[in-house]
Amino acid sequence: MQKVEANGASIPVLGLGTWTLKDAACVALVSKALSIGYRHVDTAAAYGNEEAVGEGIRASGVDREALFVTTKVWWTDIAAGDLERSAEASLERLGLDRLDLLLIHWPNPQVPLADSIRALNRMRETGLTRHIGVSNFTTALLAEAIRLSDAPLVANQVEYHPYLDQDQVWRACRAAGMAMVSYCPLARGSRLFDDPAVAGAAARHGKTPAQIVLRWHVQQEGVVAIPRTSNPARLSENADIFDFALSDAEMAAISALGAAGQRICDYDFSPAWDAA
Ligand SMILES: NC(=O)c1ccc[n+]([C@@H]2O[C@H](COP(=O)([O-])OP(=O)(O)OC[C@H]3O[C@@H](n4cnc5c(N)ncnc54)[C@H](OP(=O)(O)O)[C@@H]3O)[C@@H](O)[C@H]2O)c1
């Protein structure tokens, strides 16, 4: 699988998102995904499925060294001491010796960022994780996090899909040598799939709309996508995106949809987002 090189991390460009996947269904999906070639799994303490993700990894029989496993510390747990406890509990639940990437899930204005970033660095120094990064960080927060971190941050995981322009965050990530990991990469499906820019490309390439959208992600420099599906049949559909390329015009037409500025994950604890 193609990888994004980011400050020493080699991140497979396609990962399996696991939010909402639970218990036996989660075990089966993770195991199946890895058996058909996925090499990257995204979970979080807040998803309540780390045990199942770990079980799925073991059930797949795929060599641990070939995999890239990310988990996240929830924003209420990022004070010094809490972050370490959360990360250790995640590792224990996953049943792994080490994480590949540990992220701060969301920023928390009540906690000094310097404390959280120091704790994150400690988790790397102790070997609990190979790499560290952030999620839902604006360009201003990202600049501050980069300044405060001893080790390079390797990724900012943010909402990104054709209906949300993330050019500013993308530029900030690229300038820092970081990957931008797209969550909600399919904008949760349905309406986007009927958009003429997507549906037209799907008809031209003999691909499904989901494949067109995922191809659009991975065809951008430094971008990684982590689509979720609860449907085993869609796992291979979503991974079958490496045998064709979108033209510059098709890429531009899909990117132009970003003017819609539609954000799916926006909560009362979200930071003040960058203006598009
Ligand atoms: N860092 C953060 O704050 C944050 C926030 C949100 C998400 N995430 C991560 O990002 C991952 C992905 O985001 P997401 O789960 O919110 O949204 P998403 O991947 O954009 O969309 C998932 C939805 O798309 C459908 N889908 C998937 N493949 C499809 C296909 N080939 N054809 C038609 N429909 C398809 C799924 O339905 P079926 O299940 O029926 O296939 C599901 O309803 C999450 O699972 C999580 O790991 C991170």
If pLDDT is split at 50, 70 and 90, which confidence band does 260 have?
Answer: confident
274 with 168: CB under 8 angstroms? yes
126 CA distance to ligand 1 centroid (A)? Answer: 32
Instruction: List the structure tokens of 100.
Output: 């590949």
229 CA distance to ligand 1 centroid (A)? Answer: 6
The topology (CATH level 3) of 12-211+220-248 is TIM Barrel (3.20.20)
Catalytic residue among 47, 160, 163, 183: 47
Q: What is the pLDDT of residues 54-101, one digit of tens each?
A: 999 999 999 999 999 999 999 999 999 999 999 999 999 999 999 999
Q: What is the pLDDT of residues 29-54, one digit of tens each?
A: 999 999 999 999 999 999 999 999 99
CB of residue 229 inside a 6 A radius of ligand 1: yes
Region 5-32: mean pLDDT is 98
If pLDDT is split at 50, 70 and 90, which confidence band does 190 have?
Answer: confident
Ligand 1 atom with the smallest distance to the CA of 161 is 20
132 with 225: CB under 8 angstroms? no
179 CA distance to ligand 1 centroid (A)? Answer: 19
Q: Is 90 exceeded by the pLDDT of residue 204?
A: yes
133 CA distance to ligand 1 centroid (A)? Answer: 21
Percent of the chain with pLDDT over 90: 97
183 given a catalytic annotation: no
Provide φ and ψ at 210, rounded to 5°.
Answer: -60, -40
CB of residue 94 inside a 6 A radius of ligand 1: no
CA-CA distance, 189 to 14, in Å (whole number)? 17
- How buried is residue 122: exposed, middle or buried, by Cβ count under 10 Å (0-12/13-18/19+)? middle
If pLDDT is split at 50, 70 and 90, which confidence band does 276 have?
Answer: confident
Nearest CA owner, ligand 1 atom 11: 17
Q: Which of 160, 164, 166, 184 to mutate to test the pocket of ligand 1 (most atoms within 8 A of CB)?
A: 184
- How buried is residue 130: exposed, middle or buried, by Cβ count under 10 Å (0-12/13-18/19+)? middle
